[in-house]
Amino acid sequence: MTVRRTLTAVAAATVLALLPHTAQAAESYPAPRPITGQQIIHDPTVIRLKSGGYAAYSTGGVIGARLSKDGKHWDDAGNAFAEPPTWWYEYNDTGDPWAPDLSYRDGRYWLYYAVSSWGTNHSAIGVATSATGLPGTWTDHGKVFSSQTTDHWNAIDPAIVKADGKLWMSFGSYWTGIRMVELDPATGKAVPGATVHHLATRPDAPYAVEGPAIVKHGRHYYLFASYDACCSGVNSTYKIRVGRSASVTGPYVDSTGKPMLEGGGDLLLEGHGRFIGTGGQSVFRDRGEDWLAYHYYDAADDGTPKLGLNRLSWTADGRPSVR
């Protein structure tokens, strides 16, 4: 997911003026939490560290790192790794990783990430662990799961969730959409011969849904996914949709009952005002509250990708909304 700045500030302002939905959307969605410091990010995953403060990892660099003491001021903290593990070069010439996922279990931080090339599903998901979750402390453990050009899925955009005593990884981008496999908790890697479950897709090619994140709230599991196109500055059409299921493996449906396997999904957040192409999302827990982390393209700053943070609230019938 290479980040590209495509328009000047003047052109960005022109695009905003031409967007028919902007005024309505600006009234419908809250602005992200104001932050300072290093705001540039793409495909963020955020966690509150056991040692205090916050870490965010992202696409860019060798998994770009940001650190914050309060969740409001963020500092550039270099990269997760000093250099790419050699096996990454099997999937692209630059050792460029994408879309990490950060979690904590069994006394360690776990960092999942993808390596691939634009436009192919010759892809792999890898995993690293750390005692502290801080950049420069990660030990890579190699491939978790991979896909080939003969497969009907794309092994990128990993996201981890525990359910019913098992560990699961959702993933997927275009091809046939969002998939899921069971992981071995001891290794963090796919169970040999694991069933590849199908969670969400679109009715028509190119099946533009990717970047899953699954969380449990109440008795349901919620699948958040990015729909449409990223990575084109203020021309991006990314938006976040969500469905829910009583089972982690689905079926996921929206509030009308339409399955996400048939293109369903309630619209949670889309471009509004200066905040264009909202997506690449993850969800993290902080002091009893759920937060949505995502990137947007700032139409007031040349379409630069920046960190968006909004709290999630839940309706009485268990539907999420941003605030």
Distance CA(151)–CA(148), nearest Å, equals 5
Residue 1 within a domain: no
Sheet strands (E) in 106-164:
108-115, 123-130, 139-147, 159-163
CATH of the domain at 75: 2.115.10.20
Q: Is 228 exposed, middle or buried (0-12, 13-18, 19+ CB in 10 A)?
A: middle
- Under the banding of pLDDT at 50, 70 and 90, the label for residue 28 is confident
Average pLDDT, the chain: 92
Average of per-residue pLDDT across 123-145: 98
3-state DSSP assignment of residue 87: helix
Torsions phi, psi of 155, nearest 5?
Answer: -80, 70
Range of the domain at 20: 9-322
How many domains are contained in the chain?
1
With beta carbons less than 8 A apart as the criterion, state whether 285 and 232 touch: no
Higher pLDDT, 11 or 74: 74
Helix or strand run (H / E) with residue 291: strand 289-298
Residue 267 within a domain: yes
Residue 170 within a domain: yes
Q: Which residues belong to the active site?
A: 43, 210
Q: What is the pLDDT at residue 19?
A: 38
- Under the banding of pLDDT at 50, 70 and 90, the label for residue 246 is very high
168-201 pLDDT, tens digit per residue, is 999 999 999 999 999 999 999 999 999 999 999 9
Residue 279 within a domain: yes
Average of per-residue pLDDT across 14-39: 65
Residue 50 within a domain: yes
Residue 4 within a domain: no
3-state DSSP assignment of residue 261: helix
Residue 293 within a domain: yes
Helix or strand run (H / E) with residue 23: helix 22-28
Residue 149 within a domain: yes
- Under the banding of pLDDT at 50, 70 and 90, the label for residue 18 is very low
Q: Is 30 exposed, middle or buried (0-12, 13-18, 19+ CB in 10 A)?
A: middle
- Under the banding of pLDDT at 50, 70 and 90, the label for residue 27 is low
